[in-house]
Amino acid sequence: MKSFSMIEIGQVGWIEKDKPTAGILDAIVRPLAVSPCTSDIHTAFEGGLGDRHNMTLGHEAVGEIVEVGSEVKDFKPGDRVVVPAITPDWRSIEAQDGYHQHSNKMLSGWKFSNFKDGVFAEYFHVNDADMNLAKLPEEIPLTTAVMITDMMTTGFHGAELANIKIGASVAVIGIGPVGLMAVAGAFLRGAGRIFVVGSRQNCIDVAKSFGATDVINYKNGDIAEQVLNATNGKGVDSVIIAGAGTEIMKSAVKMTKPGGTISNVNYFGEGEIIPIPRIEWGCGMAHKQIRGGLCPGGRLRMERLINIVKYGRVNPGKLVTHVFNGFGNMEKALLLMREKPADLIKPVVIVD
């Protein structure tokens, strides 16, 4: 079968691979729609995870099941499914402890295009199908559904980690697709005032539609100063980081109130150290919590997010700005994600 792979750091392309086979609990899925992620760019072009050779890229897909193992109970060939980016080993001590994202090892719940072949191939393997897949309701379009697998769960996790109280002030740094879903998540969690930091107009428009109240352009000077000026020098209760490089932590800490929370869902693809500014962190005594996490995956998480879409709470389909028909466009879509033209939020490739 054909696989769109990271051949080595800096080089991607189509290669031939053996079709995967299902173990007794697993499924083999044929993708119907896929989307490249900024994380694929960090992994393939920046070597964010270290060396990977001939590894199929991609972790955002909805698809059709073509094969299931003998012990799979709830799914059968022909079912259309939402496949979470994170497909943990649910029989692990870490999952039992509440951190399925790190089942067996740090970040190991993230298997696709990290510890095993990803979803940009004619077929891909899903471990523990009953625990990791969710049925795709008829009424949700494929392009919208593929946004649930990673963008929605990640952005919402940013809001979950941010300890948002009803009426609280929140700043979302970065309003690419992840940050936009964090805005929607902060709104659902009851934020009163939501600052967003970005520069591209189409992202700002979507951010406002998801509940942003104040827009800060990082190209117009220090973003922490801008947020402090707008809040009588107090700062915000919660900051969600969903963009920029490691230096952004300095701004995030600076614009957070004492007792506030900094929530990071960025994948810092480069650099050795993430700097915490000493004075703004109260010389270590400001009670400003810094948290960060990989998005939750698995079946229950997907089913809950599907409900949010199905019952009209949030429409993640707004993120999709470019739709390509045909798997042959995979490279074009991935490179768009690298170039980030002004009109792009997320591209989707319809496979057939």
Number of residues that bind ligand NDP (CB under 6 A): 29
CA distances (Å), 30 to each of 20, 126, 169, 255, 351, in order?
Answer: 11, 11, 43, 45, 9
User: Of the two residues 65 and 249, which places its CB atom closer to ligand NDP in the complex?
Assistant: 249
User: Of the two residues 23 and 292, which places its CB atom closer to ligand NDP in the complex?
Assistant: 292
d(CA 174, CA 243): 4
User: Of the two residues 147 and 242, which places its CB atom closer to ligand NDP in the complex?
Assistant: 242
Which residues ranging from 217 to 256 are in contact with ligand NDP (CB under 6 A)? Answer: 218, 242-244, 248
Q: Which of 56, 103, 143, 154 forms a contact with ligand NDP (CB under 6 A)?
A: 154
CA distances (Å), 329 to each of 16, 120, 350, in order?
Answer: 17, 11, 9
User: Of the two residues 26 and 150, which places its CB atom closer to ligand NDP in the complex?
Assistant: 150
Q: Is-contact 30 64, C-beta < 8 A? A: yes
Task: Give the position of tokens 């490179």.
Answer: 335
Q: Which of 27, 294, 305, 320 forms a contact with ligand NDP (CB under 6 A)?
A: 294
107: contact with ligand NDP by CB under 6 A: no
Q: Which stretch binds ligand NDP (CB under 6 A): 12-20, 127-135, 224-232, 263-271?
A: 263-271
Neighbours of 275 (CB within 10 A): 12
The radius of gyration of the chain from alpha carbons, rounded to an integer in Å, stands at 20
Q: Which stretch binds ligand NDP (CB under 6 A): 11-19, 31-39, 74-82, 311-319?
A: 31-39
Q: Which stretch binds Zn ion (CB under 5 A): 5-13, 146-154, 179-187, 270-278?
A: 146-154
- The amino acid occupying position 235 is G
What does the CA dihedral 105, 110, 114, 115 come to, rounded to 10 degrees? Answer: 50
* Distance, first Cα to last Cα, the chain: 15
User: Of the two residues 69 and 109, which places its CB atom closer to ligand NDP in the complex?
Assistant: 109
d(CA 72, CA 278): 52
Q: Which of 161, 175, 239, 305 forms a contact with ligand NDP (CB under 6 A)?
A: 175
Q: Which of 150, 160, 237, 280 forms a contact with Zn ion (CB under 5 A)?
A: 150
37: contact with ligand NDP by CB under 6 A: yes
Instruction: Catalog residues that contact Zn ion under the rule CB under 5 A.
Output: 37, 39, 150
